[in-house]
Structure 1
């Protein structure tokens, strides 16, 4: 499974890279702020909403600490998606949130 740190993801965003970020935290967690442009799909719904994703795109998975996004990454990877887990999750995120 590919991985990037929160700092690496933040750097890519600062450089203007178009990233496909999926936040798998729960609704109450996302209410405290998420990375701008991130799509919110709670971990428990990933299986039921993966039809909304495009297998030709690469997705960066985000959660609070990196564990749930790791689970989501493995699940999506097993179903043929290109994914990267953001290690450290939002606990390590120092960038802007919306």
Structure 2
């Protein structure tokens, strides 16, 4: 299950989904999306208690590969999660042209 960045922007604007950023801290220092929940991929299994099964999550990394693995894991644990196609790099290209790309 996936979501495109432009559709995600619309959904985030009306607060209907939580953006879960699973990048590493050094990546988040380069660029981030305001309001995101940051949990690095390798910490997800240990921090499931920070997530609410009643909410829907859009899972984002740099390009969409790590977030796909996290999305599959979360869905397997009973959470509602969608992978953000192209990750924050696609967000920078299609939604926020002022965002630093790396």
> Structure 1 unaligned runs (5+)?
none
Is 1:6 aligned to residue 5 of structure 2?
yes
1:64 deviation in Å? 0.2
Is 1:67 aligned to residue 65 of structure 2?
yes
Q: Distance in 1 between matches of 2:35 and 2:4?
A: 18
Alignment of 1:10-89 (within 5 A): 10-13=9-12, 16-18=13-15, 19-89=17-87
1:12 deviation in Å? 2.7
> Structure 2 unaligned runs (5+)?
none
The alignment's C-alpha RMSD in Å is 1.3
Counterpart secondary structure, 2:30: coil
Counterpart secondary structure, 2:58: strand
Q: TM-score, normalised by structure 1?
A: 0.88
Q: Distance in 2 between matches of 1:4 and 1:71?
A: 15
Q: TM-score, normalised by structure 2?
A: 0.85
Instruction: Indicate the structure whose relative CO is greater, using CA pairs within 8 Å and at least 6 residues apart.
Output: 1
CA offsets per residue over residues 13-45 of structure 1, 9 Å max, x none? 3xx310301100001000012111001000000
Counterpart secondary structure, 2:47: helix
